[in-house]
Amino acid sequence: MPEQLYDLGGKRVWVAGDRGMVGSAIVRRLASEPCQIVRAPRGEVDLTRQDQTEAWMASARPQAVFLAAAKVGGIHANDTHPAEFLYQNMMIEANIIHAARRFGVEKLLFLGSSCIYPRMATQPITEDALLTGPLEPTNQWYAVAKIAGIKLCQAYRRQYGSDYISAMPTNLYGPGDNFDPVGSHVVPALLLKAHKAKLDRARYIDVWGSGRPLREFLHVDDLADGVVRLMTHYSGEDFVNVGAGYDLTIMELAELVCEVVGFSGAIRYDSSKPDGTPRKLLDVSRMRALGWAPKIDLRTGLKQTYEWFLEHPNEIRIPVHAAS
Ligand code: GDP
């Protein structure tokens, strides 16, 4: 078993982005660690602003930081809001990483994304595929910002010896996801479409693109477990992929979602919408060597996410700016 390198015991821990799907899952996971979670007051710290970020960190003095704050969205949101995705994500990560050094953060984990890899990367994608080819155009803005975040962590480690690491998660889903029909990712989008179609007794749902792209999906609670593992058991310049280890076509996903929701109508494919990258399956050997493996299979995870959706009608929101 790999040895523990960082002890969260008694530490002040800040999860930046703790109101988003990923951040709230990390907070849930940290409940079983003997640490103290510090939280920024809701809506009061705009992490795209350096002055506000620094003032917050100067007062909160976190010792460990999970950097899960980001402007996120699905293929359409990315494609149509390039400036927001690039600018806001670069600002958030630069502000937090720089302030972390200034205010003596001992360990920081930055969350990237599997879209950092070249569109035509060899599958499954190993970490060394970074910057070996052109990016997928639909999410290149977000990808470039995330690549900058990885490089910031590496640069601060090299120049200042800061213990900053990065995790690259695959496509995530789970409770707390964004269910906006236009801005969301495919899992919540299809859950919502199938749910509405069931209620309306519609004959079909529309799925974007050809249905042929392959995607890997990881439940956000598995990711949270993985990043806590990295925080405590990993240190190094190399970043680490976090994925489920298998993928399926969007067509197969759509069928599974319809089954979980109980919608028995047809599935139509809208070829006017983009497919995005044909495949992005992560190689998770590094992560597995650290003693982590996902526990939630896709069917179980989709059922649980659908139940969450049914139980939280007021929380179905559009996170256009996941600041603090
Ligand atoms: P991506 O992994 O960055 O492409 O992010 P998405 O989760 O937004 O999309 C994944 C795949 O699902 C793409 O091929 C989309 O075209 C496809 N897809 C099918 N229907 C939908 C939908 O209703 N919303 C979204 N976001 N994607 C969809």
CA 108 to chain centroid = 16
Using the mean position of ligand 1's atoms as its centre, give its distance from the Cα of residue 284 in Å: 22
115 lines ligand 1 (CB under 6 A): yes
* Per-residue confidence (pLDDT) for residue 324, from 0 to 100: 31
Output the residue whose Cα is nearest ligand 1's atom 13.
275
Using the mean position of ligand 1's atoms as its centre, give its distance from the Cα of residue 259 in Å: 19
213 lines ligand 1 (CB under 6 A): yes
Using the mean position of ligand 1's atoms as its centre, give its distance from the Cα of residue 269 in Å: 12
Report the C-alpha gap between 231 and 253 in whole angstroms. 32
Q: Which of 6, 117, 142, 156 is catalytic?
A: 142
186 lines ligand 1 (CB under 6 A): yes
Q: Please state whether the predicted TM-score (pTM) of the whole model is above 0.85.
A: yes
Per-residue pLDDT tens digits for 55-108:
999 999 999 999 999 999 988 999 899 999 999 999 999 999 999 999 999 999
* Per-residue confidence (pLDDT) for residue 1, from 0 to 100: 76
Strands (E), 104-239: 107-111, 163-169, 171-173, 204-208, 214-215, 217-219
Rg of the Cα atoms in the chain: 19
Contact between 205 and 194 under an 8 Å Cβ cutoff? The reply is yes
Confidence grade of residue 315 (pLDDT, cut at 50, 70, 90): low
Per-residue pLDDT tens digits for 20-34:
999 999 999 999 999
Q: Among this protein's residues, is 306 annotated catalytic?
A: no
